Structure formats: C-alpha cells, structure tokens
Amino acid sequence: MDDISRMLRMARLEATLDKRCLLGASTTMVVQPGAERDVPFHVLLEGELEFEVGGHLFPMVAGDVIVLPAAVRHRVITSGSLPARGTVETAGATFTRTSSAGGGPAVIDLFCGHYRVAPGAGAILFGSLPTPTHVSLFESEAGRSVLLQLSALMRAEAQHDGAGSAAIMSALCTVLIALVLRTSASAGAHRGLWTAAADGPIADVIQRVVQKPGDSWSIAALARDSAMSRATFIRRFQAATGTTFGRFLVRTRLMCAADLLAGTDLTVSTISSQVGYRSESAFTRAFREEVGVTPARFRRSQRSEA
C-alpha cells in the first residue's frame, strides 16, 4: 500500500458534503467552527473568491482546495459592485444548497464539507498540516484531469441528491483529500505539504520512514545515504516539510502506534517496541504529549466508542 493511502486508512476519516454554494457577486458567507475533530474543506470548481481565516485573505480560483486542519471560523467572499449581502440556505435530501440573498446569477460553484477524523492517527496526521492547507489541483496536468472528472461526478450527483447520494459524495470527498495530500504545489501557502515533498531525496526518506517507522533512524545515516552533509540534510528536510526530522519521526511512529492500539490486541509494550521505542515509559510519555492521554486510556476510549 502506498504511503498516502496507508495514512488515510490509519486516520479512519469519514467524509461529509455539507453544502453546495452557488453564490453571486458581493456575497459573504460566514462558516462557524465545527465539532472537535471536524476538518472543514472547500473545493472551488468555478469562479474566483477570497477565503478569509485568522485575519488573512487567500485568493481562490477554480481548481483550488482549502482544508482547515484546525476548525476555526472563516469566511467565503465574492467580489462585486453590488451592496454587500449574506446567504440563504435551502435544505436538500443530502446537503444544503446555499445562494446569495436577493438572488442573481452565480459567479462561483463551491462545494463545502468536512472530514471527521479519528482521535490518535487522524488527529496527528491532520495536525501536521498547515492551517489553512491550500493547494491548486490545476497546477499539474494529472491533478487537473482528475479534478475535472471528480467535479463532473460531484455536480451530477448534486443534481440527483437522492438515494445513495450521501455515500457517493462521501467517497468522492475522500478522493479529494487523497489528491490534496499528494499535491506538492502550494497555492498561496507558506510551504508545501510534507506528504508530497518536492525534494526527491527528502521524499524518499519520508517514504522509507512511513513504511518502517520502527527502524532505528538517524540523521547521520540518512544524510550519508542521501549523499548530503548532516547540516544540508537538516536544512533541506525542514525546507521541504516545514518541520524537523525528529518531529516528523515522532508523529509517524505515534500514528502507527495509535492505529495498532485501536485495531489490535497487542500489548502496549509490544506496540512501543514495534514503532521504535526502547522503553514503554518513553513511548507512554511521547504518546500522552501528542494525543493527550496514555496509550492504555486511548485504547479503552476507542473500544468504548466502537
């Protein structure tokens, strides 16, 4: 299994389409924060808009996707010379249809939804991404081709909005996040995604670690294997991923550990060893710092929730 597919499987996410927004000019749509572990996303299929979060504006054009790993209040804004206006919503069988108050022709076609991620692996994965995660799927021919097909399916299903639509839209939105995670081009963000690092040797290191997180990894050995000095490896890794190698390694190991805790009956001691920790106490400390609870409590909560 490839790395991104493996991480998404561990994240155990559930995708939901919440709205299709056909907004006219001079419209502002305010989106309030969702529930804990909800990760909102927006994919613009047609038109241009400004996305505001945390006091910063991010221009979006057709083919752009924004994902908010931290659920925060945000706004969608369309330009125009009309008086500023809000939105009206019409409930559908599967999702809400949002339009501009006062009517008028639509200038954007925007699909909005959220991913519900599992605690542990899912929270760690999405917590490792920038807020917002902003990519342009049209910047590569492969991304453009897949998104055009995906958008045609989403629009067709939106017109149907009946039996089976929720399941179909969920599957299509899961395809969308896989496209985002493998897209190295960053649209307006400060850095790209570590899941699609554009630096070849660094991307190779990431792949090796994700496949075998329990191995004994050292910066010196990885730098030597990559024909770099230690200092060059450290600099290039941080430039390509936005994080340090040590932080990346810890997160990768703990994602795998959370997956094993939730899906197997292996002891905590065995899992800590499998993901590369020399002592159970060191593993428990690292897990609690990242997830907020001990491995044993995490496992109990997962079984109770199931």
DSSP secondary structure letter of residue 83: P
Whole-number Å distance between alpha carbons of 203 and 196: 7
- Whether 198-305 and 3-181 are alike in CATH topology: the answer is no
pTM of the model: 0.90
Q: Are 99 and 267 in contact (CB under 8 A)?
A: no
**pLDDT level of residue 192 (50, 70, 90 thresholds):** low
Distances (CA, A) of 259 to 118, 135, 264, 271: 10, 27, 8, 10
Averaged pLDDT, 191-201: 84
Whole-number Å distance between alpha carbons of 130 and 62: 21
Whole-number Å distance between alpha carbons of 118 and 124: 9
Mean pLDDT (the chain) is: 92
Question: What confidence score (pLDDT) does residue 35 get?
Answer: 85
pLDDT value at 211 more than 90: yes
Q: For 125-171, write each residue's pLDDT tens digit.
A: 999 998 899 999 998 888 899 999 999 999 999 988 888 999 999 99
Question: What confidence score (pLDDT) does residue 36 get?
Answer: 83
Give strand pairing partners of 27. Answer: 85
The structural domains of the chain, with segments of one domain joined by +, span: 3-181, 198-305
* CATH number for the domain formed by residue range(s) 3-181: 2.60.120.10
Question: What confidence score (pLDDT) does residue 131 get?
Answer: 86
Percent over 90 (pLDDT), the chain: 77
Name 106's Cβ contacts closer than 8 Å, sequence gap at least 6. Answer: 22, 23, 24, 47, 99, 100
Distances (CA, A) of 274 to 114, 126, 215: 33, 23, 8
Question: What confidence score (pLDDT) does residue 193 get?
Answer: 84
Percent over 70 (pLDDT), the chain: 97
pLDDT value at 187 more than 70: no
SS3 of 289, please?
Answer: helix
Whole-number Å distance between alpha carbons of 233 and 248: 14
pLDDT value at 306 more than 70: no
Q: Which residue has the higher pLDDT, 275 or 196?
A: 275
Q: Three-state secondary structure along 191-253?
A: CCCHHHCCCHHHHHHHHHHHHCCCCCCCHHHHHHHCCCCHHHHHHHHHHHHCCCHHHHHHHHH
Q: Which residue has the higher pLDDT, 23 or 35?
A: 23
**Domain 198-305, CATH number (from 1.20.1600.10, 1.10.10.60, 3.40.50.300, 2.60.40.1940):** 1.10.10.60
**pLDDT level of residue 118 (50, 70, 90 thresholds):** confident
Q: For 216-265, write each residue's pLDDT tens digit.
A: 999 999 999 999 999 999 999 999 998 999 999 999 999 999 999 999 99
Question: What confidence score (pLDDT) does residue 304 get?
Answer: 77
Which pair of tokens denotes residue 259? 């997956």
Whole-number Å distance between alpha carbons of 69 and 128: 8
Q: Are 161 and 92 in contact (CB under 8 A)?
A: yes
Averaged pLDDT, 98-126: 93
Which residue's entry shows tokens 């024909």? 227
DSSP codes of every residue in 1-19? --HHHHHHHHHT-EEEEEE
- Cα radius of gyration (the chain): 21
Q: For 42-86, write each residue's pLDDT tens digit.
A: 999 999 999 999 999 999 999 999 999 887 899 999 999 889 999
Q: Name the pairing type of β-strands 133-136 and 64-67.
A: antiparallel
In 62-216, where does DSSP find H-type helix? Answer: 121-127, 141-160, 165-181, 200-211
Q: Name the pairing type of β-strands 109-116 and 38-46.
A: antiparallel
